[in-house]
Structure 1
Amino acid sequence: MAEHTWIERLSKLDSCAVSDAMEKVGLRGAVLGIRPMWSCERIVGRAVTIKIKPVGLVRPTQHLCTPAIEAAQQGDVLVIDNAGRVDVATWGGILTYAAKVKGIAGVVIDGACRDLDESREHEFPVFARTAVPVTARGRIMQEAFNEEIQCGGVSVSAGDLVIADRSGVVLVPAAKAEEVLTAAEAIAAREKRMQEEISKGRSVVEVMESMQYEAMNVAEGESQRG
């Protein structure tokens, strides 16, 4: 089935082409304000979602994110919804080590992390809003995992596709994956042809105009109306 090759196809793209493709099919997928916390490599995979909430009267019996790490499969990407909080770390060194051992591809956090030296030492990709040394213990806890969450205002469910690189993070609904990947591959192929034409000496103005660069991420209906 085509879905078996989605991750392989996604790994050959970058977040910019995928973001453009999402716009072309009429979806928002780019997450704003989340960036790589060190010079880590691009990650792609299926989302394992985690919802975080403040600690209430009943203290947690398990540390946040640990059940999700145990449930994740090799190559998955953890996506954590802490509503953008940057005053407390949602992710740290022990979690990094456990995720690395499990074969998880990386973590995307709508919030803060800590222990970045350990993440870099273990070569585990961490994408977040910022880093802060403040512990999660006694402050925040896991509410649920593998349920629909929000990440930077973008809805994401378990099994959706994630791509994150130095340009940013894009989340692709599994139900639209084939359509988005096909559009992204076409965009990437056109951009490659443009570079080839420029390398031959053609004017960048001429190349971009002749290949309709300005319309590459425009939805089909909008393109026709335009």
Structure 2
Amino acid sequence: MSLTPQATATLSRVSTATITTVLLKKGLRNVWMRGSRPLRPGQPRLVGPAFTLRFVPAREDLATPESWSSPISTRTAIEAMPQGCIAVVDAMGVTDAGIFGDILCARMMKRGVAALVTDGVVRDLEGVLGTGLPVWCDGFAAPPSVAGLTFVGWGEPIGCGGVAIFPNDIIVADQDGAVVIPAAFLDFILAEGVEQERMEAWIVDQVNSGAVLPGLYPMNAETKARYAASKK
């Protein structure tokens, strides 16, 4: 199933915490990208197809400022990003070289990119924040990417924060970080995620009314019956 506007709207109401719980029921434990935290507090939950980019360790003959003019460069990759995508960048967890700065993020905004997610860091922090591009990353650093990384391509499977990401996998990012929904599991999340959110909201209401947790969370048979009745 493709990521339709309706599916996007539905997923925007499902937290990354809920998605990890629902995917766990299918045996998927490794879907949360380590090191990808919201750069700005209060960023809204965002949903989009993954556009993947990959760095490898810096090699002195390739990782140079001149490489920024190469056909294989982050600049060229940005021009290939479709509107509404979420750029997911494998920076190998390197935190002392900023992969993108304010100019690249400004161009991504102009192209309608929804967000940037990486296990690395950005540079030109004030400028990046000024672009308004939502970013999930592991912080910020002054040195450029070529100080620690070599850009090698886009549109291929990557590992970001220890998670396998394939092009067009579904990315959901919120205050708890960024998670991947493999495309084959989109229908399952759309069906189960909303129900999980509804059920947990009901449980919270019960707790706020003084209910004790045993038998409530997880639900026993009696609680399940009360919950079922509440939906009628």
With structure 2 as the length reference, what TM-score do the two structures score?
0.82
The structure in which a higher percent of residues are strand is 1
Q: Which residue of 1 aligns with 2:31?
A: 29
The equivalences for 1:153-164 within 5 A come to 153-164=162-173
CA RMSD of aligned residues (A): 2.2
Paired residues in the alignment total 212
1:197 aligned to 2:202? no
In structure 1, the residue corresponding to 2:195 is in which secondary structure?
helix
Corresponding residue for residue 17 of structure 2:
16
Other-structure match for 1:43: 46
Name the structure 2 match of 1:171. 180
Matched, 1:185 2:187: no
Q: Which amino acid aligns with 1:9?
A: T
Is the 2:33–2:119 Cα contact (8 Å) retained in structure 1?
Answer: no
Instruction: Give the conservation status (yes or no) of the 8 Å contact 1:25–1:180.
Output: no
Alignment of 1:42-191 (within 5 A): 42-53=45-56, 54-58=58-62, 60=67, 61-62=69-70, 64-137=73-146, 139-191=148-200
Change (3 A) 1:209 1:106: closer
The alpha carbon displacement at 1:206 in A equals: 5.0
1:186: how far off?
Answer: 2.2
TM-score by length of 1: 0.84
Match of 1:207 in 2: 216
Q: Give the Å deviation of 1:35.
A: 0.7
The alignment partner of 1:130 has SS state of coil
Q: Which runs of 5+ in 2 are unaligned?
A: 222-232
Q: Among all aligned residue pairs of Structure 1 and Structure 2, give the percentage whose two residues are the same amino acid.
A: 25
Larger displacement relative to structure 2 (133-142 or 163-172): 133-142
Between the aligned partners of 1:16 and 1:145, the Cα distance in structure 2 is 28
Compare 183-192 and 202-211 and name the one that shifted more.
Answer: 202-211
Helix, strand or coil for the counterpart of 1:88?
coil
Q: In the TM superposition, what whole-angstrom CA distance separates every residue of 1:178-221 from its partner, at most 9, and x where no partner exists?
A: 12332222211111111233344434555324369xxxxxxxxx
Alignment-mate amino acid for residue 151 of structure 1: C
Is contact 2:97-2:147 (8 Å) kept?
no
Q: CA deviation at 1:70?
A: 1.3
Query: In 2 relative to 1, CA 161–209 (structure 1 residues): closer, same or farther, beyond 3 Å?
Result: closer
* Structure-1 residue corresponding to 2:226: none
CA contact (8 A) 1:64 1:141 kept: no
1:37 maps to a residue whose letter is L
